[in-house]
Amino acid sequence: MSDTVNRRAPKMRDYTPERLLIEFSPAAWHPGYEATLAGQAEHGAHVAKGLSPLIDVRYGPGPLQTMDIFPGPTPSAPACIVFHGGLWHRSDKRFFLFSAEPLVAAGMACFVVNFDHCPGIDLDGIVRQVRDAAAWVQREGHKYQCDPSRIYLFGHATGAHLAATLLTCDWNAWPDFDPGALSGSLLVSGLYDLRYFPQLPINEILKLTSEAAARCSPLLAALHVKAPMIIAAAAGETPEFIAQSRDMADAAAKAGAAVKLQIVDGVGHFDILDTLSDLESPLMRDFIALVNRTGNSGQ
């Protein structure tokens, strides 16, 4: 839910209906993606067995408003809030539990978040829920071996979109949250301009009006939190996914944030996540360097 729509927003790219469907269908570009997701879920189950997180900790009243928490290795560990993808209507945090392994190894506490799905809730409601999750971590994080004044965001696909909405939120309307705690982010294979979705078949589930699509587009909003960002896409993404990552990186840089854009060779929309299970992968190495560099300042 963007608070300020940018009247100089990028012009929408002109697609035929057939091409539009292709551009927003990453699964069609990645045969066998189900096996990739199953492997990530299996890896996550193995990680959870080894690290013994607190499961399904509730942060709100919605049916899926829970998170799995991997406490930090030290009382002052930075916190990382993790959001899964799934086009706001499917998937689950269990597909992202594997990400806790390198984050905890790097000294972070990890909060892997679930949220309710469309059409049971609209996208504005999902955005409110992830704000609730961030506020909960800031309020309760000290109980889980972390410093709630140092919160980092990590999301993939529509999870990256949700993380970005926390950066474009005008937190003055949420006085119980200090946005200065948002210290950096890793946004992977995200969607930041939703104006195309009312034209797509999936909108039968999302039920986005043109106004809601614009309102929920981080690319069209003022960047209120200008902490450092890593924005990444796979070289094997659809051209539209890559273009949206470039557009978001450009907009954030123009707004005054320190941004690093990475287009990762040799992977696609789904298997780019497999590279993040390795602390020495370029994306994870850069993200941990960002966390170490920002320290307690959040800048």
CATH number at residue 181: 3.40.50.1820
Nearest of 278, 238, 183 to residue 28 by alpha carbon = 238
Residue 177: inside a domain, yes or no? yes
Q: How many domains does the chain have?
A: 1
Letter string b/e over residues 35-55, b meaning 16 or more CB atoms within 10 A of that residue's CB: ebbeebbebbeebbeebebee
Q: What pLDDT score does 297 carry?
A: 40
6: in domain: no
Please say whether the beta carbons of 213 and 195 come within 8 A.
yes
- Examine residue 185 and state whether it is found in any structural domain, yes or no: yes
Contact by Cβ (8 Å): 126, 165: no
The pLDDT assigned to 202 comes to 97
The pLDDT assigned to 8 comes to 61
Instruction: Tell me which H or E stretch contains 230.
Output: strand 229-234
CA distances (Å), 299 to each of 110, 142, 169, 206, 294, in order?
20, 21, 18, 35, 5
224 Cβ neighbours under 8 A, 6+ residues apart: 3, 167, 168, 169, 170, 171, 179
Q: Is residue 7 part of a domain?
A: no
Residue 279, pLDDT score: 87
CA dist 283 and 208 (Å) reads 32
The overall pTM is greater than 0.75: yes
Name the β-bridge partners of 264: 234
CA distances from 183 to 22, 128, 156, 158, 284 (A): 35, 20, 18, 20, 16
Q: Determine the pLDDT at residue 142.
A: 95
Q: What share of the chain is helix, strand, coil (3-state, %, to 5)?
A: 45, 20, 35
Residue 105 domain-assigned (yes or no): yes
Place of tokens 């809730």: 121
Grouped pLDDT means (10 residues each) for the chain, 299 residues: 54 96 92 89 92 96 97 95 96 91 95 98 98 97 96 97 97 90 98 98 97 98 97 96 97 97 95 89 94 68
Residue 230, domain extent:
17-294
Output the six-digit token pair for 68: 């799995």
Strand (E) positions, 53-120?
54-58, 66-70, 77-83, 109-113
Q: Is residue 5 part of a domain?
A: no
Q: What is the dihedral of CA 196, 198, 204, 207, to 10 degrees?
A: 120
68, 82 contact by CB (below 8 A) = no
Residue 10 lies in a domain: no
Does residue 218 sit within a domain?
A: yes
Spatial contact of 216 and 2, defined as CB atoms under 8 Å apart: yes
End-to-end CA distance of the chain: 24
| Token digits of residue 128 | 């409110």
Compute the half-sphere exposure of residue 274: CA atoms within 13 Å on the CB side of its CA.
15
